Structure formats: structure tokens, C-alpha cells
């Protein structure tokens, strides 16, 4: 079940032991196995060392802990090391609107760059850990390392494309397509992280999934039931198995990749 440790103060107290990157808070960017997904792509060894200097290895977070809050001053971006996180905004009526799901190797917090205030909040969906990169230091370092500047431009560009895909998904597709697309998206991201693309835990509640996809939680539940009946997926609470990925792609109306 919980693969992440309860002990928290590993950071400086324990001697270096080669454990898997995402559970060991003291590992460096150069050794992190998420490096090829994360910020350091496109950097050479010496550049990674410089990046390492400004990265703060974060403490472990528990489910429900905030990484930052809507309206709070923007200070840093966050790279997920383990666990999963959601971002959301709270509407005028006090309803939570989920805007993103983040998995290890992905970067959060770029919503604060424009105005120096976070435009949404970020919380842990389960026990997890992260690296914190103070933005002013990242900016300064980027000005000295062109490939880091380029990498960060690209990272922000990715976020833009991702958000636009989400917009397209939500504004033009039926509920079933949205659910199928979300499952395929997680599958693909797991695959890149060398995890099973067909068996995973979906860390959000039905209500969160619904909010993210612009449908009600009941609709999400019904669609899971229906897809299960069709033998496309097997759903056991949050545990998801994709039994027929091609069928799922057909439902999601994805014809490529």
C-alpha cells in the first residue's frame, strides 16, 4: 500500500545510501532517476551541479497538505518526487474546481509566474515529496545557462499545450470520452516513468475527477461502472486496470499516438 516512509527527518541526519530517488530526500538531481523527465533534461553534468545548488529537497507531505495556496506569494516552483498532487481554484460560491493532476517528475507552480501570486492552490493527494526551486534563483541561473533557460521555456510551453488540450477535451467531448482520456493520460505518464501503463491507482476521489473533467461525481461513477461492464477496464475503488487500451482509445477518440 503506502510505499512511502513515515520517518521524515532523513534529510541531513542519515548517511548517504543509494535508495530509489523519489523516496530519498537527499539525492541530487544528477542521480535522480526522474531526471530525464524533470528540469535537468538538456543540461550537461556541470550545469546539473549548478542547478543542484539552488534546489531545496523538500520534506515529506501527507495527504491534504498544501504546497501553496491560492493568492499566496509566488516564491518557487515545485518538482514532484513522489506521490501525487492536485491543483484547484475555489470559485466565488466556494466550490472547488480541480485544474490539474501532477505525478512524479512533473513541475507545479508555474501559475504564479505571471503575477507573483499563485492563481490556484496545490495539495497532496497522498503521502509524497518534492523538490523546491526558488524562482528568483532559477531565473538568475537561467540567465547564465542558456540551455536551462531553453529548458524552462519548453517546460512552460508544455504546460500551455497541456492546458489547451484539457480545454479542448472539456469543451468538446462527451463525458465518457473525457474519462477515457484521463485514464489514457495517466497510463501514458506512468509508462514514461517506467511504471505499469495498465494498472495503477487513480489518486483522486470521484468528486475530484468529476470536477477536473467538468462532470458530476455520479456521472464519473456510472461511466466507470459502464466501462467495467464492457470489459474495457476493471475498477476496484481507486485501483484501475486497463483491460483493453485500444477500445479505450476508440472511446476517447484518440486515433494517434
Partner DNA sequence: CGATAAGTTGAACTGGCTCAAGTCATGTGG
Partner DNA sequence: CCACATGACTTGAGCCAGTTCAACTTATCG
Exposure on the CB side of residue 188, measured as CA atoms within 13 A = 11
Among 238, 243, 247, 254, the residue binding DNA under the rule CB under 7 A is 238
Cell numbers 486496470 correspond to what residue? 241
- Beta carbon of residue 212, minimum distance to DNA (angstroms, whole number): 12
Q: Is 110 in the site for a second copy (CB under 8 A)?
A: yes
Among 12, 15, 64, 93, the residue binding a second copy under the rule CB under 8 A is 93
Among 91, 229, 236, 257, the residue binding a second copy under the rule CB under 8 A is 91
Count of H helices and E strands in the chain? 8, 11
* Window 57-86: residues binding a second copy (CB under 8 A): none
Per rule CB under 8 A, count of chain residues that contact a second copy: 48
Q: State the binding partner of 168 from DNA, a second copy, none, CB within 5 to 8 A by kind.
A: a second copy
φ, ψ for residue 107 (rounded to 5)?
Answer: -110, 130
- CB atoms < 10 A from the CB of 245, how many? 15
Helices 45-54 and 135-144 cross at an angle (nearest 10°) of 150
Q: State the binding partner of 95 from a second copy, DNA, none, CB within 5 to 8 A by kind.
A: a second copy
Kindly tell me which of 32 and 108 has the beta carbon lying closer to a second copy. 108
Helices (H), the chain: 10-13, 45-54, 135-144, 146-172, 175-192, 206-213, 217-229, 245-252
Q: Please choose, out of 23-31, 169-177, 185-193, 243-251, the segment that lies near DNA by the rule CB under 7 A.
A: 169-177
Q: Please choose, out of 15-23, 147-155, 199-207, 222-230, the segment that lies near a second copy by the rule CB under 8 A.
A: 147-155
Strand partners, 96: 90
Amino acid at each position: 500500500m503506502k510505499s512511502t516512509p513515515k520517518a521524515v527527518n532523513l534529510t541531513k541526519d542519515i548517511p548517504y545510501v543509494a535508495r530509489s530517488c523519489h523516496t530519498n530526500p537527499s539525492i541530487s538531481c544528477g542521480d535522480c532517476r526522474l531526471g530525464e523527465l524533470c528540469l535537468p533534461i538538456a543540461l550537461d553534468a556541470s550545469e546539473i551541479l549548478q542547478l543542484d545548488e539552488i534546489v531545496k529537497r523538500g520534506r515529506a507531505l501527507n495527504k491534504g497538505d498544501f504546497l501553496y495556496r491560492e493568492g499566496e506569494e509566488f516564491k518557487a516552483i515545485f518538482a514532484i518526487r513522489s506521490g501525487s498532487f492536485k491543483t484547484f481554484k475555489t470559485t466565488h460560491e466556494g466550490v472547488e474546481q480541480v485544474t490539474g493532476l501532477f505525478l512524479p517528475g512533473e513541475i507545479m507552480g508555474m501559475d504564479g509566474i505571471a503575477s507573483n501570486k499563485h492563481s490556484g492552490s496545490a495539495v497532496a493527494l497522498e503521502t509524497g515529496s518534492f523538490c523546491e526551486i526558488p524562482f528568483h534563483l532559477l531565473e538568475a541561473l537561467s540567465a547564465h545557462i542558456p540551455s536551462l533557460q531553453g529548458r524552462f521555456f519548453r517546460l512552460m510551453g508544455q504546460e500551455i499545450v497541456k492546458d489547451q488540450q484539457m480545454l479542448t477535451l472539456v469543451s468538446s467531448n462527451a463525458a465518457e470520452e473525457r474519462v477515457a482520456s484521463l485514464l489514457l493520460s495517466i497510463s501514458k505518464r506512468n509508462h514514461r516513468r517506467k511504471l505499469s501503463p495498465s494498472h495503477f491507482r487513480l489518486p483522486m476521489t470521484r468528486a475530484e475527477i468529476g470536477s477536473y473533467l467538468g462532470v458530476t461525481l455520479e456521472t464519473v461513477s456510472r461511466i466507470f461502472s459502464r466501462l467495467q461492464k464492457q470489459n474495457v477496464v476493471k475498477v476496484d475503488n481507486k485501483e484501475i486496470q486497463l483491460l483493453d487500451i485500444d477500445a479505450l482509445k476508440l472511446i476517447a477518440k484518440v486515433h494517434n499516438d
